[in-house]
Structure 1
Amino acid sequence: MLTGSSRWDCSLRNRPLIGVIGAAECDEALTRLARAMGRGIAELGAVLICGGMGGVMKAVCQGVTEAGGLTVGILPGSDRNQANEFVDLPIATGMGEARNLVIIRTADVLVAIGGSYGTLSEIGFALKMGKRVIGIRTWDIEGIEKVTTVEEALKLLKTKGG
């Protein structure tokens, strides 16, 4: 948005970017967990970075939206309309699964919720790049800060920062 001085308002520029990675398909329990994580991310004033599709990605976006936050979806395809309905800013990369690296590079910190091999690769790249990864009901890998609840994850984000 332009201000009176014709400069861009960059108030979003310094907000924490929290990436959430996880299962493209998930059960109701994981959906509730991801949605609660999304609400917490919004309440922290952070911007959500995710893959913008279904499963954990959709649930976390829904939670962020419900709490008045901002969501960014880094999409695998070339059509931004493929994003779930809770993505505010869809970025169509046309990169397929390679877009996972964009998610990892963009986020200041990552929260892994559930997940299969795609999530495993994202965790691996994140740890290799020195990114902080907090895990809830996900892979048991050295380097992940394992927690069992959203509240614990949010406490880590608040006390240690992104």
Structure 2
Amino acid sequence: MAASLHVAVVGAGDAGAELAAAAEEVGRGLAQNGAVLVCGGLGGVMEAACRGAKSAGGLTVGILPGRRRQDANRWVDVAVPTGMGETRNALVVLGADAVVAVGGEHGTLSEVAFGLKLGRPVVGLGTWRLIRGDGRVDDSIVPADDPQAAVAAALALVAEGRD
């Protein structure tokens, strides 16, 4: 049996309508391509991505910061309470083959950093841009112009790594 592809969708827990719509499209696209969606399991980008994945019949996993499964958004199929607070961000990334960052704040930045440190492909949709101390742009985050491009890039990068 082939291993399933797991993609983390990360972003702000409080997202406006535009970011939520983009995250929902990313979730839907991942599910349509057979990927399991992994996220932090709460609101904002996480909830929107899960909603999109469920609309396409996908499976969603929420790695929760608290100790209660019932804190997960209603679109999470498998809720994993950690009691670890924000440090659970490392587990979100460890549970994925690639990371798609949709917008985001400092928590998202930590997930992006964990992804890069752990060698996971990171695709960014309206997210952080990294500048090194010497002023050079760090191009480790693969930019995407829209949700479809983000999904395509994540899937392609994982496929390249599996060859």
TM-score in terms of structure 2 length: 0.89
Give the Cα separation in 1 of the matches to 2:65 and 2:153.
Answer: 30
Distance 2:7 2:16 in 1: 23
Structure 1 partner of 2:34: 45
Q: Which runs of 5+ in 1 are unaligned?
A: 1-10
Aligned positions, number: 151
1:161 is paired with a residue of what secondary structure?
A: helix
Misfit runs of 4+, over 4 Å: none
Match of 1:121 among 110, 121, 143: 110
Over the matched positions of the two proteins, sequence identity in percent amounts to: 44
- Rg: which structure is higher? 1
Q: Does 1:146 align with 2:135?
A: no
Query: C-alpha distance in 1, partners of 2:42/2:99?
Result: 17
User: 2:41 touches 2:72 (CA, 8 Å); kept in 1?
Assistant: yes
* Partner of residue 106, structure 1: 95
Shift of 1:115: 0.4
Q: Which whole-Å CA distance do the structure 2 matches of 1:24 and 1:155 have between them?
A: 24
> 1:37-90: CA deviations, max 9, x gaps?
010010010100000000000000000011100000000000000000000000
After TM superposition, the score normalised by the length of structure 1 is: 0.89
What secondary structure, in the 3-state scheme, does the structure 1 residue paired with 2:18 have?
helix
Q: CA RMSD in A?
A: 1.2
Secondary structure class of the residue paired with 1:24: coil
Q: How does 1:13-162 map to 2 (within 5 A)?
A: 14-141=3-130, 142=138, 143-161=140-158
Q: Deviations over 1:88-126 (max 9, x none)?
A: 000001111111011111110000000000001111111
In 2, the alpha carbon distance for the partners of 1:158 and 1:92 equals 27
Contact 2:115 2:121 in 1 (8 A): yes
Work out the CA distance in 2 between the residues paired with 1:157 and 1:125.
16
- Tell me, in whole angstroms, the C-alpha distance in 2 between the residues paired with 1:157 and 1:50: 15
